[in-house]
Amino acid sequence: MKAYLGIDIGSISTKGVIINEENKILASTYLWTEGNPIKAVKRLLKELEQQVQDKNIQVLGVGTTGSARKLIGTMLGACSIKNEITAHAIGTLSRHKDVNTILEIGGQDSKIILLEDGIVTDYAMNTLCAAGTGSFLSSQAKRLGVAVEDFGDIALTSQHPATIAARCTVFAESDLVHKIQMGYAKNDIIAGLCYSVAANYLNNVAKGKKIKAPVIFQGGVSKNIGVKQAFEDLLQVPVITDEDGHLMGALGSAILAKKSSKNEVFNFSISNSQFETIGKECSNCPNHCEVIIVKKDGQKLDAWGNRCPKGALLK
């Protein structure tokens, strides 16, 4: 069976899927990057390989997206290395062909993608702090002594959500502590946090954007039904979620890999190779570029960061 691998490597989480020719997900995994994208991808490959080892498949293309897409794409010999906007749009359209607006909130960033007739017409990404993202909710969950996975269910029990300023992480935490000291019920505070995340997103990431239905909410935070409900209340339109909403970037990357495939079989044993990255300042010209060199088992794979050909000579 022909198959394709897509990886979405972010600063907080790393997602991977293997799909068949019909874009059906055969295997998937989601794990924490923990500040080491190379180590995270090695773990991801081993988990995916275990899931498909009895399915008699051949992976004929690899696609990467996310903040470390170039590094991981180089490491795996990817045939597709694309930005998050493209990958998320392709992945979402493969499931929801009529979608006009994609709301995406991940661990440390968020984005909005506007589409018309299956074409991306506009987009924006967060330029402020991470107050309206998954890492913000996780930190507040620890403060409240509640598992972040339970936030949504608890939020829906609230009749009077607290008003919490979430434009800035520092102010949000100060406001949350103030609400606790005033005696607000925990479920009202949690509901307030969910609303503040949605409001912060709409007032900043989506500012000036015309949001048209159908609207789909994805990313790790889309698993929080409290935030989903907040979006529906604020937008006054139904908001769609997908059980694989946290995997859409990886799914899009796999589909792009299928389109760019050179029919070269990917070998999962690459996870046993030793990879390292070395940062060097090039002194071959007055630019003094900071060059990143990627090595596999001691041999140079690639280098980037140089503004002239002389930087490519570094070893």
Q: Where in the chain is the domain with CATH 3.30.420.40?
A: 2-91+250-272, 97-241
- Closest alpha carbon to 134 in 175, 90, 169, 161: 169
The domain made up of 2-91+250-272 has a fold known as Nucleotidyltransferase; domain 5 (3.30.420)
- Please give the Cα distance from 40 to 93 (Å, whole number): 27
pLDDT at 169: 67
Segment 20-39, tens digit of pLDDT: 999 999 999 999 898 899 99
Per the prediction, the chain carries an average pLDDT of 90
Q: pLDDT band at residue 287, thresholds of 50, 70 and 90? A: confident
Segment 236-256, tens digit of pLDDT: 999 999 999 999 999 999 999
CATH 3.10.20.600 assigned to 97-241: no
- Closest alpha carbon to 126 in 110, 148, 141, 138: 110
> Is 311 or 19 the better-scoring residue by pLDDT?
19
Segment 288-303, tens digit of pLDDT: 899 888 999 988 888 8
